[in-house]
Structure 1
């Protein structure tokens, strides 16, 4: 099941490049693989590769959550700045 190693590496690379569409695509492939493996008997090597895939997936999930939080904060800051600019604009127009 070298596919697990390939998916783990591709997932890590896509996340490192902030290629979230590719991450989503790979996540779907991983879900499909896991559903196929549900009924399979796995060798010790397969279990180790699966553990690596699980570890990479968890790492990418954390990175994704951190990125979402950073974007949320950035958007919130932009909204606050916009509100401040609008208030300043209203104040300046009243002064004229």
Structure 2
């Protein structure tokens, strides 16, 4: 699987897992140089608190378009050390 935005591959892995319609990539497969920490947070009752990243490709910012669970709940343990994408970031097989 590959996550692409603006023609740039942000993540690539054969170990992405699909959960609730989104693919979660192992953190080690994500090109972190394109991600900038965001102050945005959300809460999922069964995974816990999500933290977000802005995706930055050559100064073009896609705000809060990647997220992860720094300390997922026990029920959400499968997303530990994984990052998911949305807001126009395309995931291809």
User: TM-score, normalized by length of structure 1?
Assistant: 0.26
Q: Which has the higher helix share?
A: 1
User: TM-score, normalized by length of structure 2?
Assistant: 0.27
Q: Which structure has more RCO (C-alpha within 8 Å, separation ≥ 6)?
A: 1
Q: Which has the higher strand share?
A: 2
